[in-house]
Amino acid sequence: MEVDFSNIKVIGFDADDTLWVNETYFREAEEQFATLLEKYETKNKIDQELFRTEIDNLDLYGYGIKSFTLSMIESAIDISNRQVSQTTLMEILNLGKNMISHPVELLENVEEVLKRLSDNYRLIVLTKGDLLDQERKLERSGLSTYFHHVEVLSDKKEVNYMNLLDHLEIDVSEFLMVGNSLKSDVLPILSIGAQAVHIPFHTTWAHEEVPTDEIKNNHLTLSGIKELVKYL
């Protein structure tokens, strides 16, 4: 696809699974969660119930590891018909704590690309999740020096982006968003008149999947972040 980024002055980057690994750890925790509850239900049923609980709780808890951990605890109680042991509940809490304390694993070529782009563009982080956790990951990543601004959003819908760009006095025609999620990082950005680059991650949370008929073709898709510098 031909793109024209000549007008771009500000580049926004998603964080999880765009700058560093994230979803992989959720999938690993789900596997361990299913093992802890295998005497009560099948793995498929456990996965379904946990996902349903996560979605039901989004409006209450938002996104992130803490929300995920609370949903695991609630699901364990429901799946076991309130028979789950205190020991198992503590193990579930430890799954969440281990995720939070996990070392930050940068994706390949991320720092190299940010270093090059920061010389000519204003770079910002636009992510969703738990504020404390995302701030902690950014600090551990060693990438904070490349960004002019960091924003942890409650959600990534058109209104969230519009309000933020307005607050930061960024013209939508001069803004480019880079992320791994079509639902959160690409489609809402295209809807407000800005540009977007999609860099898929090998694992996608079901909530972030987009039906084929909703996918627009007016954005650039890359296999890795290093390709981005070819267009800027």
Q: Whose structure tokens read 């090059």?
A: 116
Identify the CA nearest to 127 among candidates 185, 76, 40: 185
Identify the CA nearest to 196 among candidates 177, 223, 217: 177
What SS3 state is found at 15? Answer: coil
pTM of the model: 0.89
Q: Which pLDDT band, with edges at 50, 70 and 90, does 66 fall under?
A: very high
- In a shared domain, residues 128 and 16: yes
- Asked whether residue 218 carries a pLDDT value surpassing 80, the answer given is no
Q: Which domain holds residue 145?
A: 10-20+104-230
The stretch 199-211 carries a mean pLDDT of 65
- In a shared domain, residues 131 and 82: no
What is the pLDDT of the chain when averaged over all its residues?
92
Q: Where among 78, 101, 124 does a domain terminate?
A: 101
- Beta bridge partners of residue 12, listed in sequence order: 124, 177
Domains of the chain: total = 2
- Asked whether residue 212 carries a pLDDT value surpassing 60, the answer given is no
pLDDT at 202: 72
Q: Where among 101, 121, 141 does a domain terminate?
A: 101
Residue 1 lies in a domain: no
Identify the CA nearest to 208 among candidates 102, 95, 63, 107: 63
Residue 33 lies in a domain: yes
What pLDDT digit, counting tens, does each position of 1-44 carry? Answer: 678 899 999 999 999 999 999 999 999 999 999 999 999 999 99
Q: Minimum mean pLDDT among 176-185, 189-198, 215-224: which range?
A: 215-224
Both structure tokens of 116? 């090059």
Q: Where among 101, 136, 167 does a domain terminate?
A: 101
First to last CA, the chain: 15
Strands 195-198 and 149-153: unpaired
- Asked whether residue 204 carries a pLDDT value surpassing 80, the answer given is no
Residue 222 lies in a domain: yes
pLDDT at 3: 84
Q: Whose structure tokens read 């209104």?
A: 159
pLDDT at 151: 95
Identify the CATH number of the domain in which residue 203 sits. 3.40.50.1000
Question: Could you give the dihedral angle defined by the CA atoms of residues 52, 24, 155 and 215, in that order, rounded to the nearest 10 degrees?
Answer: -90
